[in-house]
Chains A and B, each alone.
Chain A
Amino acid sequence: MVGPVNAPGRSGHGRPSGRGRRGRPGGRSERGRRGRDACLVGVGETRYAKWGGITGTSEYQLAVEAILAAVADAGMTPDDVDGLASFAEDRNDATFVAADLGLPELRYASLSWLPGGGGACAAVANAAMAVESGAAEVVVVYRSLCQGQFRRFGQGPGNMSARVGPPRVPHVRRATSLLEAHVAFTMPFGMFSPPIAYAMVLRRHMHRFGTTVEQMGHVAVTTRAHAARNPRAVMGDRPMTIEDYLASRMVSEPFRLFDCCLENDGACAVVVTTAERAADAAKVPVTVLGSAQGALQGFGHGQYSNVGMPDDDYTSSGARGVAARLWARAGVGPGDVDVAQIYDHFTGLVLLSLEDFGFCERGEGGPYAASGALAWPNGALPTNTHGGSLSEAYIHGLNHVVEGVRQMRGESTCQVQGAETCLVTSAAGVPTSALVLGRP
C-alpha cells in the first residue's frame, strides 16, 4: 500500500510484518482492495530490439505506442487517462505526451527523482498515490529507451564530447549541474560507466564474503533460460551455458559482458487506477500490496559517486531501508513471496538485492543463487521470469513491473503456478524503490 500507514478502514494497511497468508486461513480475503486503493490494470510494450534495432520510429513515438498498448490492455482509451508518470530523466515529457495523445485533461504528472533505474517502482508508487489521493483516476506509467538513438545511459552528464574536444583544457570548467560537479571525481579517473563503478562494489563483496564469478554466472544463465520461453526477449534465441558466460569478454573485472544488462531499444507502460475503476477493467486487476522508496543516510547517493560510505552500505544494494518499509507496509515478508522480479543491471547486484530484501543472510547472495533458487519452475524464488534486463530488455526495470503484473494474472511465459505475491525491485546501487504486487 502506498497510503499512510495505519490508516483506518482500509484493508492491508500497516499490518505487522509477517502476517503472511501461509498458515493463516482466510488471510487472502483480508487483502481485497476497495474504493480508491490502487490497482494495476493494463500493461503494454513495443517490440524490443538490440541497440540501434529501431530506427524508423523515434523513442518518443515508442513511448506513445507503449502507452496506447497498455491503455488498450486495460480496456480503456486515452479519454480515460488523466495522469502520467515516469522516471530516470525521461526525455519524453508528460506534457507533450498528454497533448499529443489528446488527453481530455492532464490532472497529474510526475518524474521520480530517484536516479536511473532506481525509480521504476517509485514511478508506479507515485501513480498509485495519485489515484489513492483522488488527484487523478487513471495514471499511465511509461518508459521508453532507445539507446541507438541516444547515448548509453549512465555515462555521466554533460559532454563526453570533452573526449573529442580540445586536447587540453586550460582551466576547470564550470559545472552546469550538481551531478556534473560530482562525477568530476570519477570521470577523469576513467570511471566512465556503471559497470566500472559496480564492479568495484562486487570486488569488495567478494573480498569480504567470498562471492565468486560462478555464482554471478548463475544469475546470467538462469535468466537467459527464462528468456528462451519469452517471445519478446531480445536474447530469447541465444541460449547460454556457464561456459559461454565464463568465455564472454571481460568488461571491468569481475564483470564480463554477460554480467551486464542489454543495451537496446523499446518502451513499455503500466496503467494504474483505483479498485473501483478496476472492477470494469478488461483483465484481472493486480493489487499494490505495498511500496517503498528512498535510501538510508549512510548510503547517500549510491556507490556510483560515493565510495566513502560505511563498508556495510558499500557492499549492499542500498535497499535495506526500502526493504524494511516495504515488508511492513505490505504486511508480508520475504517468505510469502512466490515470484520476484529483481532489477538486474548487473548479475552481482541481484545477489546483493536478494540479501537486502531478506531472502538470505548478508553475504549469502552468491550461494543462494548457486543453489538454483532463482530458476523457474522449481527454484525457491523464481526470479526474472521474463529474462530481466540481462536477457529480455533493458527498459530501466519498468518491464519488471510489467512481468510482475503478468505473473499475478497468470499470463507469464514462465508462469509460477498459483503465484499470489510478487516482489518487484528497482535498481540496486542507487536510491531505489520496490513494490509488492498481489492478486485481489
Chain B
Amino acid sequence: MTERWFPDEMPMPAANAETVGWWEAAADHRLVVQRCTECGRTRHPPGPVCPRCRSTSAQWSPLAGTGTVYTYTVVHQAFIPSLQDRVPYVVIAVELDGADGARMVSDLVDADPDEVAVGLPVEVAWEDMGPELAVPRFRPASGPGRTRTGTRP
C-alpha cells in the first residue's frame, strides 16, 4: 500500500463503460487521459464521443504525471465526519502536462495549505484507497533548489 492522505470513508468512484478504463489505469498507478484517435483532442472526464470531430473512437493516452495548479481552494469545512481531523485540505484543478489543455480535479498533498498557488508545479502521488482502487493526488513537484515545508499526514 502507498502512503495515505485521506480517510477510508472518502466517497469511492462509480464508473460506466466510458470511464472504467481510466480507473483501471489508475489502479496500476498509470495517469492517462482519453484522446480521440481521429483528431487527437483530449477530454476529461472521459466520454463516449469527441466533441470536436464526433468520432467515437478513443484511446487512453499515457501522461507524465506532472502539471501545474490552474486554480484551487482550501477546504475548511468537514463535509464528511471523518474529515474533521483532516481539514483544512487543498482541492486543486491541475493542468496536466502533455494533455493538450485537459485538466483534472485532485488534491495537493505533502504541502502546507499556504504553499498552494496558481501556477504551482505539481507531480502525481498515488494513494491506494483499497484493493484495485487508486486515486491520483498531487504534491509540489520536486525540483532543484526546491524545499518542502509542512508535510501533512
Contact = CB atoms under 8 A, between A and B. Distances in A.
B142 interface: no
Given A168-B130, A184-B19, A173 B14 contact: yes
A190 B10 contact: yes
Contacts of B153: none
Interface in A168-194: 168-176, 178, 180-182, 184-193
- Which of A188, A250, A300 is packed against the most chain B CB atoms within 10 Å? A188
Nearest to A186: B105
A175 B14 contact: yes
B77 interface: yes
B101 to A, nearest CB: 7
Contacts of A189: 91, 105-107, 135, 137
B73 A174 contact: no
Contacts of A307: 70-71, 93, 103-105
B13 interface: yes
Contacts of B20: 172
Interface residues of B, number: 49
Interface stretch (B56-64, B78-86, B144-152): B78-86
Contacts of B16: 174-175, 178, 181
A167 to B, nearest CB: 4
A163 interface: yes
Nearest to A251: B77
Grouping DSSP codes into helix (H, G, I), strand (E, B) and loop, the B interface class, with mixed when no group exceeds half, is mixed
A68 B43 CA distance: 47
A181 B17 CA distance: 9
Given A163-B80, A167-B9, A172-B23, A184 B14 contact: yes
Contacts of A254: 73
Contacts of A249: 76-77
Contacts of A253: 73-76
Interface string B111-150: 0000000100000000001111101010000000000000
Contact of A185 (B6, B44, B82): B44
Interface in B1-35: 6, 8-16, 18-20, 23
Nearest to B43: A308
Interface stretch (A91-99, A137-145, A199-207): A199-207
Contacts of B105: 185-186, 189, 191, 307
A164 B10 CA distance: 9
A203 B9 contact: no
Contacts of B75: 190, 196, 251-253
Contacts of A188: 10-13, 129, 135
Interface string A119-162: 00000000000000000000000000000000000001010101
A254 B75 CA distance: 9
Given A171-B132, A174-B16, A251-B76, A200 B11 contact: no
Interface in A306-334: 306-308, 314
A305 interface: yes
Nearest to B52: A297
B12 A162 contact: yes
Contacts of A300: 51
Contacts of A187: 10-11, 13
Contacts of A305: 45
Contacts of A306: 45
Given A190-B83, A191-B105, A184 B73 contact: no
Contacts of A184: 13-15, 19, 23, 45
Contacts of A252: 73-77, 91
A172 B91 contact: no
Contacts of B82: 163
Contacts of A196: 73, 75, 79, 91
B11 A163 contact: yes
A177 to B, nearest CB: 9
A190 B15 contact: no
A200 B131 CA distance: 31
B15 A173 contact: yes
A171 B44 CA distance: 21
Nearest to A164: B9
A200 B73 contact: yes
Nearest to B73: A199
B11 A162 contact: yes
B104 A207 contact: no
Interface in A260-311: 297, 300, 305-308
Given A185-B104, A188-B11, A193-B79, A200 B72 contact: yes
B118 A207 contact: yes
Contacts of B6: 190
Nearest to B113: A253
A295 to B, nearest CB: 13
B73 A181 contact: no
8 contacts: A170-B131, A171-B131, A175-B16, A185-B19, A190-B89, A207-B118, A306-B45, A308-B103
Given A187-B11, A200-B93, A252-B75, 4 more contacts: A173-B15, A185-B19, A199-B73, A203-B118
Interface of A: 156, 158, 160, 162-164, 167-176, 178, 180-182, 184-193, 195-196, 199-201, 203-204, 207, 249-255, 297, 300, 305-308, 314
Interface of B: 6, 8-16, 18-20, 23, 43-45, 51, 70-77, 79-83, 89, 91, 93, 101-107, 118, 129-133, 135, 137
Q: What 4 A-B pairs are tightest by C-beta distance, nearest first?
A: A184-B13, A168-B130, A167-B8, A175-B14
